[in-house]
Structure 1
Amino acid sequence: MTHDGWREWAPGIRVVVRRLRDDSPAPGEPRYTDVLGDLLKVDDEGVLVRTRRGDVHVPARAIALTKVVPPAPPRRRPRSL
């Protein structure tokens, strides 16, 4: 995992970004959360990642750790009864 290597990324890869939470976690709750998905955009302001729940912008100042990860496995079709 790296901290500044994300600045070299090209859109289209799958990544995980550990970010400092932008809310105020309660005592005992984690200060960080992970964003996993396909990279859409990289600039000096941060990264834009398409997750299963939608697009997430992670500001540069909130990025703690980053990693390129393998493509997602194919989704399974629901079994019929």
Structure 2
Amino acid sequence: MTAPVRLLQSLPQGTRVVVRYRIGGQLTDALGDLIALDTDSCTVRTRRGDTVVPLTDVTAAKPVPPAPPRRAPRAL
């Protein structure tokens, strides 16, 4: 088990995280709330929806601060 996977296992659900993982030979990130973790995968709730990441593909992970509040739309 790699250090990033151990870190994910130590975090409580709901923690905002960034998870870097391999997909098709490339690296990509999932940024959002850690909503599920089992022996094979973790699920991160991103702005675009839930991303299920196989733990064998995780290369890095860390907790991140809460997202800043969204800005109000510009007045025209």
Q: TM-score range by the shorter chain?
A: 0.7 to 0.9
If asked which structure has higher relative contact order (CA below 8 Å, sep 6+), I would say 1
| Structure 2 alignment gaps of length 5 or more | none
Map of 1:28 onto structure 2: none
1:47 counterpart SS class: strand
Tell me which structure has the larger Cα radius of gyration: 1
The alignment status of 1:5 with 2:18, answered yes or no, reads no
- The sequence identity of aligned pairs, in percent, is 47
Equivalent pairs counted in the alignment come to 73
Q: Partners in 2 of 1:59 and 1:7 — Cα distance?
A: 13
Map of 1:70 onto structure 2: 65
Q: Which runs of 4+ in 1 moved over 2 A?
A: none
TM-score normalised according to structure 1 size: 0.83
Of 33, 36, 44, the residue aligned with 2:39 is: 44
**Shift of the alpha carbon at 1:18?**
0.4
TM-score normalised according to structure 2 size: 0.87
Q: Give per-residue Cα distances to partners, 1:18-46, cap 9 Å, x unaligned.
A: 0011x3x5xxxxx2111100111111112
Question: What is the root-mean-square deviation in Å for CA atoms of aligned residues?
Answer: 1.2
Q: Judging by fraction of residues, say which structure has more helix.
A: 2
